[in-house]
Amino acid sequence: MRCILLFYLLFSIVLIGNSCKNTSVIQNTSSTANTVAADTATSVETLLDSTVVTTITNTKHAKLQKLYKTQYPQCNKLVVHQLDSTDMYVLVCNPLPRLHGSIAVVHFNPSSDTLTKVVPLDVFKNSFKVMVDSACWRTFAGFDKPIIEVKIKDYLRGDISWYAYDSANASFAPLLSTQYEGIVSISAKYANKGLLPTFDDIDKDGVTDIILDGIIEYNQSSKQTKVHKIFSWKAADSTFVEQKGIISK
């Protein structure tokens, strides 16, 4: 019993880290699927922080879950993120604390119950990361395509990445991948939840910049280093590039 309680406690802590909007968490059981979800305008983090877990029957997301489960029966827990009020969804199958997991973008028409363009995002390519933490949509000024933010982890560190999704070609263009959590060196690590992202047009070029803020703490020491990283868009290389000289403050 203690092991079971510990498992659910750890699982709840993981969910608190998800700050993406338009989220539903759908858990399959051997009987009819249960929907334990935030409203599409409320994050899971908000519900958990208020110590209220609301059970909602989200018909649209329940239909999507049923169709996806039929095609991918190995997915016993599905986190659903809708892109505003469109028919586009990013799905996280079997996120933490399970190993591996997967991420896919689907187009779903609830009126006809059709699920099309199941496009997997291979976040493990050329990577030793073994766990999917979260994924959600972002909107960046200067981009005409929706952005997907993905967090993956191993036991030592976590990486955060952004991809532009091209629905016409069903493809993902990598924009930036960088460490946000975990061990920095043999004697240091990012504190708490690691580097937290915010978004603003710092250089006023009309394109959203990515800002990461956090603290590095050191083993057996009270010393701390504040971290402030800014990544600006470099069109010539089609990627975000860190602005040097302002990493720490």
Q: What is the pLDDT of residues 6-42, one digit of tens each?
A: 444 444 444 434 456 555 554 443 333 222 222 332 2
Q: 78 with 90: CB under 8 angstroms?
A: no
Report the alpha-carbon distance of residue 64 to residue 191 in Å, rounded. Answer: 37
The pLDDT assigned to 176 comes to 96
Whether 82 maps to a domain, the answer reads yes
First-to-last alpha carbon distance for the chain, in angstroms, is 47
Average pLDDT, the chain: 75
Report how many domains make up the chain: 1
pTM given for the model: 0.75
Residue ranges of the chain with per-residue pLDDT less than 70: 1-58, 96-99, 126-129, 245-249
The pLDDT assigned to 169 comes to 86
Report the alpha-carbon distance of residue 87 to residue 89 in Å, rounded. Answer: 7
Whether 93 maps to a domain, the answer reads yes
Whether 213 maps to a domain, the answer reads no
Q: Cα dist. 193→55, 203, 213 in Å? A: 27, 27, 11
Whether 190 maps to a domain, the answer reads no
Whether 77 maps to a domain, the answer reads yes
The pLDDT assigned to 114 comes to 81
Q: Cα dist. 17→44, 48, 86, 196 in Å? A: 9, 10, 25, 10
Say which residue the tokens 């976590």 belong to.
158
The pLDDT assigned to 100 comes to 72
Whether 6 maps to a domain, the answer reads yes
Q: What is the share, in percent, of the chain residues with pLDDT greater than 70?
A: 71
Whether 188 maps to a domain, the answer reads no
Q: Domain range for residue 128?
A: 2-183
Whether 237 maps to a domain, the answer reads no
